[in-house]
Amino acid sequence: MIKLIFWGTPQFAVPSLVRLLEEPDIEVLGAVTQPDRRRGRGKQLLPSAVKETALKHGLPVWQPHSVKKDAETLEVLRSQPVDAFIVVAYGQILSPEILAIPRLGCINSHGSLLPAYRGAAPIQWALHDGQKATGLTTMLMDVGMDTGDMLLKSTTNIDPFENAHELAERLSQLSGNLLVETLTQLEKHTIVPIPQDEAQATYARLIKKDDFRLDWANPALLLHNQVRGFFPFCIASFRGQPLKITATVPFDAQGTPLLSGSRSLPALEQLVNKVPGDVVSIAKNKGPIIQTGEGYLLLKTVQLSGKKRQSGWDFANGLHLSIEETLENG
């Protein structure tokens, strides 16, 4: 029986915790998660998704504000008969003292194929960069940022119209099985940790406010990848008000779809080049077509400030959008 403590905070980590709880040869002793946060319009103090799940399964929960400085939590962790710490999107750096506690080590499930996209936002930046495949890597944690020796990987293709929420959901469902297999092989000594090649390392930095701003002078494909990578927060300006762009289809300068797939559309009729941001056409039952710095972008779904998300077609009809109106940069 492998005994472990689970470290995680957001919904992304929940399927991994549930899968570990289901495994008969694994015992989850408890969960470490971030302190309750005030969220929503009412600023209510709410627990993390991992805390809610842990409590439903009768697990003890520890919520140190700073795990590296919390001597009481550290002492509790040392007192547990633990074989491994499993870390999935916890949100704090673990100290060398914590890393040294479990017999099998601290094992992290990271949302990329390391050493690519180390850091805080691997899923978002992989989509932003137009990657065609990604996956998960389990690794033995060390004091660096996602620099530990790699254990197992799981690879998946990325649909060219998939957004960050959808991809994160898929990866979260894959993570649990990969962690179970990793723990099983570590216990049997049938897995060889592989050091990461520093020369191949890339970083997925924290997303900043400016990353959400759309610049219509950019190519259509770049804008499309920005929208799906930073879903649902990419923003432009329409009639002086913020407008979130949440799903798009990119076309080349001839009006031909740049991407194939189930969500692509037939070629558009030949369009006359306008200034980036101009509405050059409104595709029936689809939505407005926007001129970009290179090609065109169909707005499939949008969200006006204070309103619910709607289709581009409903947006165009509801506001009587006209050809040659302009969307400003975010």
- pLDDT tops 50 at residue 34: yes
pLDDT of the residue at 261: 66
Worst-scoring range by mean pLDDT, 13-17, 69-73, 246-250, 308-312? 69-73
Omega of the bond prior to 115 within 30 degrees of 0, cis?
Answer: yes
CATH homologous superfamily, domain 209-328: Formyl transferase, C-terminal domain (3.10.25.10)
> Tens digits of per-residue pLDDT, 188-243?
999 999 999 999 999 999 999 999 999 999 999 999 999 999 999 999 999 999 99
Question: How much is the pTM?
Answer: 0.93
Specify whether the CB–CB gap between 89 and 10 falls below 8 A: yes
209-328 shares the fold of 2-204: no
Q: Residue ranges for the binding site? A: 112-115
Specify whether the CB–CB gap between 90 and 33 falls below 8 A: yes
Per-domain residue ranges of the chain:
2-204, 209-328
Determine the Cα–Cα distance for residues 1 and 204; give it in Å rounded to an integer: 36
- pLDDT tops 50 at residue 262: no
Query: Helix, strand or coil for residue 54?
Result: helix
Specify whether the CB–CB gap between 313 and 323 falls below 8 A: no
pLDDT of the residue at 269: 66
pLDDT of the residue at 44: 84
> Tens digits of per-residue pLDDT, 45-58?
899 999 999 999 99
* Residue type at 12 in one-letter notation: F
Q: Residue ranges for the binding site for (6S)-5,6,7,8-tetrahydrofolate? A: 112-115
> Tens digits of per-residue pLDDT, 64-121?
988 888 888 888 899 999 999 999 999 888 999 999 999 999 999 999 999 999 999 9
SS (H, E, C) 175-231: HHHHHHHHHHHHHHCCCCCECCCHHHCCEECCCCHHHHECCCCCEHHHHHHHHHHCC
Q: Which fold has domain 2-204?
A: Rossmann fold (3.40.50)
Q: Answer with the residue of higher pLDDT: 262 or 184.
A: 184
For 112, the token pair is 């990329």
> Tens digits of per-residue pLDDT, 276-319?
999 999 988 999 999 999 999 999 999 998 899 999 999 999 99
> Tens digits of per-residue pLDDT, 128-184?
999 999 999 999 999 999 999 999 999 999 999 999 999 999 999 999 999 999 999
